[in-house]
Chains A and B, each alone.
Chain A
Amino acid sequence: MKTWDWSYTGHVLPDLLRGLLVTLEATALGSVLAFLLGLVWALALRTPTRWVRWPVGAVVEFIRNTPLLVQLFFLFYVLPTAGITFSPLTTGVIGLGLHYSTYTAEVYRAGIDGVPVGQWEAATALSLPRRRTWIAVILPQAIRRVVPALGNYVIAMFKDTPMLAAITVLDMLKQAEEAGAESFRYTEPITVVGLLFVLIAYPTSLLMRALERRLGN
């Protein structure tokens, strides 16, 4: 038996690339969800009303401190018993987005805290309404600071997408597993999956590091 079969590699590659598209799609949609929800949490955790702050804080802590895989199983197997059913990919995107939103919330919090208090004071001195202060002054400065940190969570999420295989999403890993199961050769597909992850994650992390240097005053 050959240790590496190039023709078999060529044979499974199209399926793996199809899986890669699913992986990228899950990462992209999951990131958008995580960015938006995280911002909602971060703002909710700053409202003066503790009837908003406490429940949101509890939910965020709960999600952050349970494993992603457990959450995915919950969404995939438990929600349908309550009559709520999504496609596997949608379930995966919700799971990833929800899970990572608890981290992006923390990133936003740090970014918002990092805006100098003088910015708030200048906004007050100009009588800018609260909403306008957030939208035009605070968030643009806060988000600029946290772009690299958010980017690093996107990479982390990307590397977590194989967990979606556990809820039948045909991502890269699932494709590799199916190819392997068909031909009883796992070496090539699994290795290629690993390489594809490295090829994407490593340059992206270098990019984030460069961005961090550029934005870090």
Chain B
Amino acid sequence: MATDIPHQTTSETTAGGELVRFEKVTKRFGATTVLDRLDFTVSQGKHVTLIGPSGSGKTTILRLLMTLLTPDDGRILVDGQPLDAEVRKKIGMVFQQFNLFPNMRVLRNVTEAPVHVLGLSKDEAVERAKGLLEMVGLGGKLDAYPTQLSGGQQQRVAIARALAMRPQVLLLDEVTSALDPELVAGVLDVLRDIARSTDITMLCVTHEMNFARDISDRVLMFDEGRVIESGPPEQIFGAPEHERTREFLSAVH
């Protein structure tokens, strides 16, 4: 199964080196400063989870990386290069609301970008897509339209769609928040699998603390646009130092 999943490590990337770097990144919406000179890095192959109260700027970070927003100040480097449309191809994203293309069948949702962005042949793209859809447990739904699937199934298609681009970094923004409770586990299991069996880098926003504990190498606690505490999951969940972290964790549990 691991062969279906991205392993891409470009020559210029040294294993364990920095893949994502935020340097004094500031983002404002009107008068409110959402991110204030934020610094953080994510190393190659690591799984980093962002936690923190709603409105603390977690989604903003992912959207900046995806170039859906531009910073007002500071800079973002990915694999040592300033973020632009070309560098963005190293990044994949899964959204809270899935955002599958409803006018395309499942298979084409997954082949569309590999064919038209990476230049894969139709056959190569179909083969890659089938492998990934198999992996997320939807090998039997290739010809379905997204609206014929449950939310959990749609989200798993969205994961396959992102992975089909062989990104180096996968951004996950509360990917189970829009799901009915009984569908959450299926999606998280797929992500656990990917985290365990590939060397893809993950930057993950989630309120699923057990999941965060399982997959994370590092957890960043956010509050008011700043990292107030970071460390391995055992430390953040087991012995948080910051009062705000303790409050937040007891509130979500």
Which residues of A are in contact with B by a Cβ distance under 8 Å? 116, 118-119, 121-122, 124-129, 132, 136-137, 140-141, 144
Q: B99-134 CB contact bits vs A (8 Å, 1 = yes)?
A: 111111000000011001100000000000000000
Residue numbers in A under 8 Å from B112 (CB-CB): 126, 128, 136
Contact between chains at A140 and B103 (CB < 8 Å): yes
In chain B, positions 44-91 with a C-beta closer than 8 Å to chain A are 66-68, 85, 88-89, 91
Which residues of B are in contact with A by a Cβ distance under 8 Å? 66-68, 85, 88-89, 91-93, 95, 97, 99-104, 112-113, 116-117, 161-162, 165
Q: How far is the CB of A23 from chain B (nearest CB, A)?
A: 34
The 10 A-B pairs at the shortest CB distance, nearest first, are namely A126-B113, A122-B99, A118-B99, A125-B93, A140-B103, A127-B89, A127-B117, A132-B116, A141-B103, A125-B66
In angstroms, Cα B66 to Cα A140, docked, is 25
In angstroms, Cα B97 to Cα A124, docked, is 15
What would 14 A/B residue contacts be, using CB atoms closer than 8 Å? A122-B99, A122-B100, A122-B101, A124-B67, A125-B68, A125-B91, A126-B112, A126-B161, A126-B162, A127-B117, A129-B116, A137-B101, A141-B102, A141-B103
Residue ID in chain B nearest A140 by CB atoms: B103
Q: A118-B97, A136-B112 are in contact. Are A127 and B88 (CB under 8 A)?
A: yes
Residue numbers in B under 8 Å from A128 (CB-CB): 112-113, 116-117
Contact between chains at A127 and B113 (CB < 8 Å): yes
In angstroms, Cα B146 to Cα A116, docked, is 15
Q: How far is the CB of B21 from chain A (nearest CB, A)?
A: 20
Residue numbers in A under 8 Å from B162 (CB-CB): 125-126
Residue numbers in A under 8 Å from B103 (CB-CB): 137, 140-141, 144
Residue numbers in A under 8 Å from B92 (CB-CB): 125-126
Residue numbers in A under 8 Å from B67 (CB-CB): 124
Q: How far is the CB of A11 from chain B (nearest CB, A)?
A: 52
Contact between chains at A126 and B68 (CB < 8 Å): no
Residue numbers in A under 8 Å from B101 (CB-CB): 119, 122, 136-137
Q: How far is the CB of B230 from chain A (nearest CB, A)?
A: 26
- A116, A121, A127, A128 — most chain B CB neighbours (10 Å): A127
Residue numbers in A under 8 Å from B99 (CB-CB): 116, 118-119, 121-122
Residue numbers in B under 8 Å from A129 (CB-CB): 116-117
In angstroms, Cα B67 to Cα A121, docked, is 10
Q: How far is the CB of B137 from chain A (nearest CB, A)?
A: 21
In angstroms, Cα B101 to Cα A118, docked, is 10
Residue numbers in B under 8 Å from A126 (CB-CB): 92, 112-113, 117, 161-162, 165
Residue numbers in A under 8 Å from B91 (CB-CB): 125
Contact between chains at A121 and B113 (CB < 8 Å): no
Q: How far is the CB of B57 from chain A (nearest CB, A)?
A: 18
Residue ID in chain A nearest B67 by CB atoms: A124
In angstroms, Cα B18 to Cα A160, docked, is 67
